Structure formats: structure tokens, C-alpha cells
């Protein structure tokens, strides 16, 4: 009987410890379970972010391939490495300005036939002094107006010329209320062409808008 009494007494004495131990154990289990769920959701979000990045990279790669293919169609004589370099410039210009690369390509076709070099092996220059693929005027856009064009000679680099042309297109497109006809007038004849356009500027704008109305086949 005394042994039983001692046993009961021992149990009673250890009840607080048992309660505290149980509380601690439950706390550990709860924390572990919560941390596990948090870890799960963190991993799930990381996986979703990774899938989004992969999808974005895949879309970017597909766009680059489409631009390169389109350039090859327009200029089959162009060196493949140069085609890719120019396609990357049109893509980068689009990322910088929001101008669709295929829209910019229509301007480049009308402006220069997508050519950087003239018949004498030097940079293609118009009678008005516009240079390169996008026929950019160095006296207006080659003296610090564009961040990455530090000097007029920079416009003689094909990729910089493309990006500069797209910067100018974006500028005029925004100023003209997102109207490509009016933006084309400005690209050809400056902002004064909006008020008193010359016949050449009107003809140019009509060519651009006609090309923009046609489906792009790559």
C-alpha cells in the first residue's frame, strides 16, 4: 500500500513537468508543421517564378528567331552573324522604347532598304545627311539627345543606329498621340511636317502606313 501511495505521490509531483513537457512538444510539432507549410509555399512560389522566367526567356528567344528570319527574307545576302546582331538590336530597341521591332523594320525598309553601307562601301548617307539603316540625322540626334549616342560617329555603328532610330520613333509616336501616320510625317520631315507637310513626307507616311497595314510574314 505504501508503494502505491509513493507511486501516486510521484505522479502528482511530476504532473507540472508532464504538462510543461507536453506543451513544449506540441509547440515544437506546431512550429515544425507551420514551418513546413511555409517552406512548401516558398518552394511553390520559387518554382512558379522559375517557370515564368523560363517562359519569358522562351518567348524572347522565339521573337529573336522571328526577327532574324524576317531580316533574312528581306536581306538574304546579309551575313548570318550580322543578321542575328541586327535582330538583337531591333529586339533591344523594342525593350528600351516599346516600339514593336517589326514596326521599326518597316521604317528601316522604306528608309534604307535595311542597308547600312552605301554603294561605295561607306556608311549609307542620304542627300540630306541622314545616316545608316534608320537614316538618323546626326546634326539633330547625334549630340547628346540620346543617352547611348555620345557623338555623331556613333550613328555609324549599325546596332546603335537601329536603337537610335527606334528611340526617335518612340519619341514622335508619343508626341503624335500614338498615331503612326503622324509619327512617320515627323520622322521624315521633323515636327514641322505636322503643320505643313511636304509632298515627300506625305508620300513617305503613306508608304509606312501601307506597310504597317500588311500582315508580317516570317
Query: What distance in Å separates the CA atoms of residue 84 and residue 74, rounded to the nearest whole number?
Result: 13
**Structural domains of the chain ordered from first start:** 2-213 (1.10.530.10)
Residue scoring higher pLDDT (155 or 4): 155
What is the rounded CA–CA span in Å between residue 164 and residue 150? 11
- Cα-based angle 63, 50, 48 (whole degrees, multiple of 5): 110
**Local confidence band at 57 (pLDDT 50, 70, 90 cut-offs):** confident
Q: Residues 148-159: pLDDT tens digits?
A: 999 999 999 999
pLDDT in tens, 20-41: 456 555 665 566 666 666 664 5
Per-residue model confidence (pLDDT) at position 10: 52
Q: How confident is the model at residue 12 (pLDDT cuts 50, 70, 90)?
A: very low
Are 189 and 200 a contacting pair, CB within 8 Å?
A: yes
Amino acid at each position: 500500500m505504501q508503494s502505491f501511495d509513493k507511486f501516486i505521490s510521484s505522479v502528482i509531483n511530476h504532473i507540472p513537468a508532464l504538462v510543461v513537457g507536453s506543451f513544449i512538444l506540441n509547440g515544437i510539432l506546431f512550429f515544425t508543421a507551420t514551418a513546413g507549410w511555409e517552406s512548401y509555399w516558398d518552394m511553390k512560389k520559387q518554382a512558379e517564378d522559375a517557370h515564368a522566367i523560363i517562359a519569358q526567356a522562351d518567348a524572347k528567344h522565339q521573337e529573336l528567331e522571328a526577327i532574324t528570319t524576317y531580316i533574312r527574307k528581306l536581306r538574304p545576302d546579309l551575313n548570318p552573324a550580322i543578321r542575328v546582331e541586327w535582330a538583337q538590336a531591333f529586339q533591344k530597341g523594342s525593350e528600351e522604347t516599346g516600339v514593336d521591332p517589326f514596326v521599326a523594320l518597316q521604317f528601316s525598309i522604306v528608309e534604307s532598304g535595311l542597308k547600312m553601307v552605301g554603294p561605295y562601301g561607306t556608311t549609307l548617307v542620304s542627300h540630306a545627311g541622314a545616316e545608316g539603316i534608320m537614316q538618323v540625322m546626326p546634326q539633330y540626334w547625334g549630340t547628346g539627345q540620346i543617352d547611348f549616342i555620345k557623338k555623331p560617329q556613333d550613328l555609324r555603328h549599325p546596332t546603335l543606329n537601329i536603337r537610335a532610330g527606334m528611340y526617335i520613333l518612340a519619341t514622335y509616336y508619343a508626341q503624335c498621340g500614338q498615331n503612326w501616320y503622324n509619327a512617320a510625317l515627323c520622322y521624315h520631315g521633323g515636327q514641322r511636317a505636322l503643320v505643313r507637310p511636304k509632298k515627300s513626307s506625305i508620300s513617305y507616311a503613306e508608304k509606312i502606313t501601307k506597310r504597317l497595314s500588311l500582315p508580317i510574314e516570317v
